[in-house]
Chains A and B, each alone.
Chain A
Amino acid sequence: DGGITQSPKYLFRKEGQNVTLSCEQNLNHDAMYWYRQDPGQGLRLIYYSQIVNDFQKGDIAEGYSVSREKKESFPLTVTSAQKNPTAFYLCASSTRRGGTLHFGNGTRLTVT
C-alpha cells in the first residue's frame, strides 16, 4: 500500500536539543514538503524539495534544516535555534509538476 510514513507519532525533547523527524514515502513522488500546524492556524510551509539533493526554504524555514539524499526520504531537523518548536509537523509529497498533495499522519513534537 503506497503512502507516507512519519515517525514517531509523538516526540518529546528538552529545550536546547536538536531533534530529527522522519518522513518516508513509497509513492515514487519527486516532490516532498514539510508543513507546520499550530492550533487555529493553517498549514505553513517550512521546506520543500522538488528533486533529490535540492531543496528550498518555505515561509517559515528559520530554525529548521532538511536533507534530500534519497527520493524516498526527507528528514526534518528542528534545531535549538527554533524559538517555538512545539507543534504538529506534517510531511507531504506530490508528483513533480503538480497533482494532489499526499500527507503523512504527522508527528507531534513537544519541547519543554
Chain B
Amino acid sequence: GENVEQHPSTLSVQEGDSAVIKCTYSDSASNYFPWYKQELGKGPQLIIDIRSNVGEKKDQRIAVTLNKTAKHFSLHITETQPEDSAVYFCAASWYSGGGADGLTFGKGTHLIIQP
C-alpha cells in the first residue's frame, strides 16, 4: 500500500518568514495530493491540492509543488502570519477520482509562528 512520510514534525518560524513542509510517497500510481490544515480542537480543512498532471499550484500565500519523478511534494507558505499556526497534513491518493478510501495521510507537521 501507499506510505507517506512527512517532515519536519515540528517547524518554528518567525512571523513574516517562509515555511516549507515536505512529503514523500511510495506508490507511483498516486495522482492526487491534498494538504489539510488542522487548528486546535477542530477537524482538518483542505487548504490546497494538486493533481499529478500539474507541477505547481499557487493560492495567494500558499503553494504546492510536485516532483513525480522523485515522488515528493511540498507545501510552501510565504509571509507567515500568526493564524498560520496549526498542524498541517499531507496526503496521497491512488484513486482515480481522488476518493478518500484511497487516501493515505502523513503524520503531520506542527507549524509554530513566532511573533
Instruction: Point out residues on A near B: beta carbons under 8 Å.
Output: 4, 6, 31, 33, 40-45, 48, 50, 56, 58, 90, 92, 94, 96-101, 103-106
Contact = CB atoms under 8 A, between A and B. Distances in A.
A40 B95 contact: no
Interface stretch (B57-65, B68-76, B96-104): B96-104
Nearest to B44: A103
Nearest to A103: B43
Interface of B: 4, 6, 9, 32, 34, 36, 41-46, 49, 89, 95-101, 103-108
Given A31-B100, A98-B98, A101-B100, A41 B107 contact: yes
With most chain B CB atoms within 10 A of its CB, the pick from A100, A101, A105 is A101
A56 B101 contact: yes
A31 B54 CA distance: 27
Contacts of B95: 98
A101 B42 contact: no
A45 B95 CA distance: 15
Contacts of A56: 101
B101 A43 contact: no
10 contacts: A4-B43, A33-B101, A42-B107, A45-B103, A94-B99, A98-B32, A98-B97, A99-B99, A100-B49, A101-B36
Given A40-B107, A42-B89, A42-B106, A33 B100 contact: yes
A96 to B, nearest CB: 8
Given A96-B99, A99-B99, A101-B36, 5 more contacts: A31-B100, A42-B4, A43-B105, A94-B99, A98-B98
